[in-house]
A and B are shown apart, each in its own frame.
Chain A
Amino acid sequence: MERLTKSFSVFDCDAHINDPQPVWDYVPEGQKELVRQTYWRNDNEAWLNGDTPVMGGGNGHFAPSYNPICIAGPQMNKKIMRKLLSMAPLTEEQRAYVHHDGALDPKARIKEMDLMGIDQVLVIPTMVIMFLPFARNLEGVDVFCQAYNNFLKDWCAEVPKRLYGAALLPVQDPLRTAHEIKRASDLGHPVGLIRPIDAQAKYPNQVGSAMMAGGGEYDAVFRAFEDTGMVLGMHTFPAPSFPHPLGPDYLASPGELFTRAGTDSQTFSFVHEMQVWLTQVLLSGFLDRYPRLKMAVFESNAIWLPAMLDSCDRVFKLYARERGTSFSQRLPSEAFYEQCVISFESDETGVFRQWEQFENVGIWASDAYHHDGADSWSAMRNMTKVGVPQEVQEKLLGGNARRWYGIEPEMFVTEEPPPIERPDWFPQGAELEEWADMIAHPRENAEKLRELGVERVNPAAVTAGRGGGAEQRGASY
């Protein structure tokens, strides 16, 4: 495969760090116990509200396999990861090799960004997005968010002009959130994060009737975003499984239906959480109420957007006399294109095929180092393949995000690196391709798999992060 070159700056609008443990060092000494009873983790365990063990993302949670939060770095792909899964238990050396330290360390991050064709990045935390909305102690959440945002400032300052951060907000407390938006904005963070879920039955949308001069409890939050110019970053996540205050028939996230249907909520929880947020924002006049608000839609894919906007426009017309009189006449699609951007990932061919719909609102995301992440080189290849013009590629891969965040372009990477030299044990080459093709079609290859003595992985053992399944099997897939 021919190596690519580029002559423009790539901005990765949504990549992750793995909630580095030094974050907790930023909590003032006198409040450490408070935060410990709110949300706390180390490499092996994590606790919510002081009494609920949760999966905090540390390497220990995934032993003896790899950490999927830190795996998708340079030149990784799903076949390699699947093979690595099947190789469990990995040795400590193997686990360390496939762990991308840029998830924790800013200097390591830069090296990996260079390999992935990324000049600048906005980093977003990981499991705190999942669990912090369920923390009960409002002061504890607030203190933790302040610590995270202070940590983030110093983390990004390690490599100025390349590293930027999205602030964490104590969303279950709107007044504290409004305050933290202002503080985080002063720290220089261009984006503040909100996850659109009904955690603790407090979906973050109660702004009051658009006809009222005052507003609901979250009005102050969105006013603060407007006043500071900070971008509202809506970021979704896999479904939680906490009891809902209204009872077992109610959900905090629409993604929970996927868990209940016996599948993996990671498939669509991200997308559905965002669709729920966006459709009500666009049909309620929310953006008319906050006309200076700038919103970024993260980690939810984008191919669904054009059809949903068409559908929202149609519904907007159908309910013309039911939506109240204070609305502007902007169609939902017009409001979106004026006040929102949406992230997409490298493999979204349907977005590239409809590039005219995304030219000024699409912002590329690597999602590194989460296991479905990918580099910018693959995005460029996929765009070129379907004929996205070069000037549009430059907007989609960086120009739009920087415009939205108010960041100047800087270019540090121009050439795609050669293949990384890997150790002998690392899955690669023809052998990997042959194995991947075989296990991708287990029914067609059942006999061959049997002959080779290859068995399916015990899923419970892998998910539990225990070696129990590993000892039972030899070769596996």
Chain B
Amino acid sequence: MAPVIDVDSHVYEPPALWNEYVPAEYRGLAKNAFFHEVDDAGNRLTVLNGAPAKELNRRKLVRQAIWRPGMTPEQIGQLDPDEFHPLNPGAWDPTARLADMDAMGVDQAVVFPTLFAEYLPRVVDPTAAGVLAQAYNDWIWDFAAQTGGRVHPVAILPLQSVLLARRELDRVAEKGFRSVVIRPAFYKMDVDPDELFNGQMARLQMALQGAGSWGANQPVFVEDKPFRGLWEHVDRLGMVACVHPSLGITGPDAVSSGAFAERVASRVGVQHTVAEPIAYMQDADLFVTAAFFHGLLEDLPTLRLAILHAGATWVPLALEKNETYLWLTPYGMSETSVCLEPEEVWDRHPLIVGFDGWERPVARMPDLLGEKAAWGSRYPHHDASSAHEARQMLEEHGVDQAMVDRLLGGNAAQLFGLEVPAPV
């Protein structure tokens, strides 16, 4: 069997990250901006911008660090949500992590943040966000360094400030990071609409529909014009831009997709989060739509992209929808001369999309979805799957071995430029 690469696994950031990796003189600033801790009795504290923040979990179960190899959804579902269940130490401990990777059939893993992905974009103080990003990156670098090259760390950026983000990008590139995570979300900035892609159009449309005018400190999408230099810099550095959504249920609607679903669902009496099945793919839809409309992939044809944690099934519809509206609407006639056939742009671009071990449409249509797909576990989140589960699903649907090898590692190795030794 070919080597297996898990293209989407996670850490659950421990207090040591703040206590040992944030310089003492900035620790108060950083912890006041964003901090999280769970004690051994399950008591939690999450601070955001100096106040208690909405938690990712409504009950005591810490679902982002609960899964262990072999656990099924049914088993997790039977855990008492009002009792504390110990977190999987593989979420922050390299030794435990490697043991779990062995059990999951994973040779190498690309590792993303959990809490930093959810909360860091909403830190108001850019300086604090910069300090926190540095701390995370230094911590994850050291974590990966203890895994014998089997874990590939992905750096995070303080996108509240393009200046600080670019500075941190240079620093992590110098350190040796080969990829950076960019959450497809809105970041508050003080910009004039005319500084945005189609800002004039947005303003016009809002005026036509009777909406209010654009205000200061406006949410700006991460693909929009103020960020373009950053994307160009990622490309110049030869790093992989990992577009990775977060659930987004702890913030307001205007940050990313999950919040709207979660907020309106609260009226129907549902007692747990409902955004998980849709938030990630909706954020992916938004990113690629913006990218096609504004020519990101055409402007930067060598930019390596990995769009993760959203499944792969959304891709054909995203291509079709963008094609339709690039042809048909005045918005398609955008400021940039963009290709009206996004499938062509997609096919020739160096990119992958993550898929889940239970995502059967990938197995049903490997010719349609498999060329650019790469399996990710979501470990140790509660909805994780192992490589064994993914392999079984693909083989049950008759996917040929060569495609299975690409889906479980080959496509990822190619994009990330990984040299993969013989499998474990």
Contact = CB atoms under 8 A, between A and B. Distances in A.
B339 A443 contact: yes
Interface in B297-315: 298, 311, 313-314
Contact of B327 (A52, A78, A318, A353): A78
Given A242-B211, A261-B289, A350-B317, A310 B257 contact: no
Nearest to A263: B293
Interface string B350-380: 0000001011110011001000000000000
Interface stretch (B1-9, B230-238, B318-326): B318-326
Contact of B289 (A248, A249, A268, A439): A268
A162 to B, nearest CB: 28
B59 interface: yes
Interface stretch (A21-29, A105-113, A270-278, A409-417): A270-278
Nearest to B215: A248
A283 B328 contact: no
Nearest to A270: B321
A322 B81 contact: yes
B330 A463 contact: yes
B307 to A, nearest CB: 15
A82 B333 CA distance: 10
B360 A206 contact: no
Nearest to B80: A321
Interface string B58-75: 110001000000001110
Contacts of B210: 48, 52-54, 241-242
Nearest to A465: B208
Interface in B57-101: 58-59, 63, 72-74, 76-81
Interface stretch (A165-173, A300-308, A399-407, A423-431): A300-308
B219 interface: yes
Contacts of A242: 209-211
B368 to A, nearest CB: 7
Contacts of B26: none
Given A307-B361, A317-B74, A459-B201, A258 B282 contact: no
Contacts of B358: 310-311, 314
Contacts of B267: 203, 205-206, 216
Given A82-B327, A205-B268, A251 B274 contact: no
A306 to B, nearest CB: 6
A264 B329 contact: yes
A266 B270 CA distance: 29
Interface in A167-197: none
A206 B379 CA distance: 35
A260 interface: yes
A312 B269 contact: no
A311 B268 contact: no
Interface stretch (B44-52, B191-199, B399-407): B191-199
Contacts of A267: 285, 289, 321-322, 324-325
B359 A262 contact: no
B200 A280 contact: no
Interface residues of A, number: 93
A240 interface: yes
Given A304-B314, A318-B383, A198 B264 contact: yes
A205 B264 contact: yes
B261 interface: yes
Contact of B58 (A283, A308, A322): A322
B328 A307 contact: no
A460 B200 contact: yes
B265 interface: yes
A372 B205 contact: no
B196 A262 contact: yes
Given A271-B317, A301-B317, A443 B337 contact: yes
A249 B282 contact: no
B202 A254 contact: no
Given A241-B209, A264-B293, A456-B333, A308 B278 contact: yes
Interface of B: 58-59, 63, 72-74, 76-81, 186, 196-202, 204-206, 208-212, 215, 219, 221, 223-224, 252-257, 260-261, 263-265, 267-272, 274-278, 281-282, 285-286, 289-290, 293-294, 298, 311, 313-314, 316-317, 320-322, 324-325, 327-334, 337-341, 356, 358-361, 364-365, 368, 382-383
13 contacts: A254-B257, A254-B282, A258-B289, A260-B202, A276-B261, A276-B265, A279-B261, A279-B274, A321-B77, A442-B337, A443-B337, A456-B333, A463-B330
Interface of A: 48, 52-55, 68, 78-79, 81-82, 85, 198, 203, 205-210, 216, 240-244, 248-251, 254, 257-264, 266-268, 271-272, 275-276, 279-281, 283-286, 301, 303-304, 306-308, 310-312, 314-315, 317-324, 347-350, 353-354, 371-372, 439-443, 446, 456-457, 459-460, 462-464, 477
Q: What are the 8 tightest A-B residue pairs by CB atom distance, in nearest-first order? A: A320-B77, A442-B337, A249-B252, A311-B277, A261-B221, A307-B313, A262-B198, A264-B331
